[in-house]
Structure 1
Amino acid sequence: MKQGLSLRVSQHLALTPQLQQSIRLLQLSTLELGQEIQQMLDDNPFLEVNIEEGPEEFGVAQADTRPAADEHESDPVAQAANGHDSSSSASDSSASSASDSDGDASDGDSSEPNWDGDGSTETVPDDGEWGGEAPARKSQGDDDDVDATELARGNESLQSWLHRQALALRLGEEDRAALRYLVESLNDDGYLEEPLEALAASLAPQDLEQQEELVHRFTVALRLLQSLDPPGVGARNLAECLMLQLRSLQQDAPDDEVYPVAIRVCSQPIDLLARRDVKRLAQLTGETEPRVKGAIALITRLEPKPGRRFVDVERNIIVPDVLVTKAGRSSRASFRVQLNPDVVPRLRVHDVYAGALKAHRGEGHQALQQRLQEARWFIKNIQQRFDTILRVSSAIVERQHNFFVHGELAMRPLVLREIADELGLHESTISRVTTAKYMSTPFGTFELKYFFGSALGTETGGNASSTAVRALIKQFVAAENAKKPLSDSQISEMLKEQGIECARRTVAKYREALRIAPANLRKEL
Structure 2
Amino acid sequence: MASMDLRTEHRQTQTLSPRLQHAVRLLQMSSLDFAAMVRDKLGQNPFLETEEGDDGEALPGADDAAERESDRDSEPQELDGIAGNEAGDDRDMWQGDTAGSTRRAEDGEISAMEMMAVETTLNMHLHEQLGVLPLAHRDLMLARAIVESLDDDGYLRTPLEEVAQVLQLDPPPTLVELTIALKRVQSLDPAGVAARSVAECLQLQLGKIDCPQMRALAERIVGQHLQTLAAKDVNGLAHQLGETPARVEAVCDRIRRLDPRPGWHFGSTQVAYVVPDVLVRRVRGQWNVQLNPAVVPKVRFNQVYAELFQRHRSAQNTEMAGHLQDARWTLRNVEQRFSTILDVATAIVRRQRHFLEYGPMAMKPLVLREIADEVGIHESTVSRVTNNKYMATPIGVFELKYFFSRAMISANGSACSATAIRGLIKDIIEAERSESPLSDAEITRQLARQGLVVARRTVTKYRQMLKIESVERRRRHS
Query: How far is the alpha carbon of 1:449 from its aligned partner?
Result: 1.1
SS of the residue corresponding to residue 364 of structure 1 reads coil
Partner in structure 1 of residue 263 of structure 2? 307
In structure 2, what is the Cα distance between the partners aligned to 1:9 and 1:291? 74
1:429 aligned to 2:381?
yes
Supply the RMSD in Å over aligned alpha carbons. Answer: 4.2
Higher RCO structure (Cα 8 Å, ≥6 apart): 1
2:50–2:298 contact (8 Å) kept in structure 1? yes
In structure 2, what is the Cα distance between the partners aligned to 1:497 and 1:204? 70
Q: What one-letter code is carried by the residue in structure 2 that aligns with 1:351? A: Q
- Residues 372 and 173 (structure 1), Cα distance of their counterparts in 2 relative to 1, 3 Å cut: same
Q: Which one of the candidate residues 146, 158, 161 is aligned to 1:200?
A: 161
Partner in structure 1 of residue 24 of structure 2? 23
1:324–1:441 contact (8 Å) kept in structure 2? yes
Q: Which moved more, 1:43-52 or 1:472-481?
A: 472-481
SS of the residue corresponding to residue 325 of structure 1 reads strand
Structure 1 residue ranges without an equivalent (≥5): 1-5, 57-106, 109-138, 251-258
Query: How far is the alpha carbon of 1:266 from its aligned partner?
Result: 0.8
In structure 1, what is the Cα distance between the partners aligned to 2:471 and 2:414? 30
Q: What one-letter code is carried by the residue in structure 2 that aligns with 1:44? A: N
Q: Which moved more, 1:434-443 or 1:392-401?
A: 434-443
Q: Deviations over 1:210-236 (max 9, x none)?
A: 99x543233323333333222333344
Map 1:315-354 → 2, pairs under 5 A: 316-327=272-283, 333-354=285-306
1:163 aligned to 2:127?
yes
- Residues 294 and 36 (structure 1), Cα distance of their counterparts in 2 relative to 1, 3 Å cut: closer
In structure 2, what is the Cα distance between the partners aligned to 1:340 and 1:204? 56
Q: Deviations over 1:378-431 (max 9, x none)?
A: 202211111110111111112111222233232211001111111222222211
Partner in structure 2 of residue 496 of structure 1? 448
Q: Which one of the candidate residues 350, 353, 361 is aligned to 1:409?
A: 361
In structure 2, what is the Cα distance between the partners aligned to 1:358 and 1:145? 48
Q: Which moved more, 1:269-278 or 1:407-416?
A: 269-278
Q: Which one of the candidate residues 158, 163, 178 is aligned to 1:218?
A: 178
Query: How far is the alpha carbon of 1:42 from its aligned partner?
Result: 4.1
- Residues 163 and 366 (structure 1), Cα distance of their counterparts in 2 relative to 1, 3 Å cut: closer
- Residues 433 and 504 (structure 1), Cα distance of their counterparts in 2 relative to 1, 3 Å cut: same
Query: How far is the alpha carbon of 1:465 from its aligned partner?
Result: 0.8
1:246–1:262 contact (8 Å) kept in structure 2? no
- Residues 381 and 299 (structure 1), Cα distance of their counterparts in 2 relative to 1, 3 Å cut: closer
Partner in structure 2 of residue 233 of structure 1? 193
In structure 2, what is the Cα distance between the partners aligned to 1:163 and 1:27? 43
- Residues 229 and 9 (structure 1), Cα distance of their counterparts in 2 relative to 1, 3 Å cut: closer
Q: Which one of the candidate residues 405, 423, 429 is aligned to 1:453?
A: 405
Q: What one-letter code is carried by the residue in structure 2 that aligns with 1:30? A: S
1:40 aligned to 2:41?
yes
In structure 2, what is the Cα distance between the partners aligned to 1:433 and 1:170? 60
Aligned residues: 409
Q: Which one of the candidate residues 467, 470, 485 is aligned to 2:422?
A: 470
Q: Deviations over 1:220-273 (max 9, x none)?
A: 2333333322233334455554554452464xxxxxxxx212211211224566
Query: How far is the alpha carbon of 1:482 from its aligned partner?
Result: 6.8
1:162–1:228 contact (8 Å) kept in structure 2? yes
Structure 2 residue ranges without an equivalent (≥5): 1-7, 64-95, 97-111
In structure 1, what is the Cα distance between the partners aligned to 2:251 and 2:206? 10
Output the TM-score relative to the length of structure 1: 0.65
Map 1:510-525 → 2, pairs under 5 A: 510-514=462-466, 518-519=470-471, 524=476
2:120–2:267 contact (8 Å) kept in structure 1? no
Output the TM-score relative to the length of structure 2: 0.71
1:262–1:292 contact (8 Å) kept in structure 2? no
Q: What one-letter code is carried by the residue in structure 2 that aligns with 1:493? A: R
Q: What one-letter code is carried by the residue in structure 2 that aligns with 1:421? A: D
- Residues 281 and 145 (structure 1), Cα distance of their counterparts in 2 relative to 1, 3 Å cut: farther
Query: How far is the alpha carbon of 1:344 from its aligned partner?
Result: 1.5
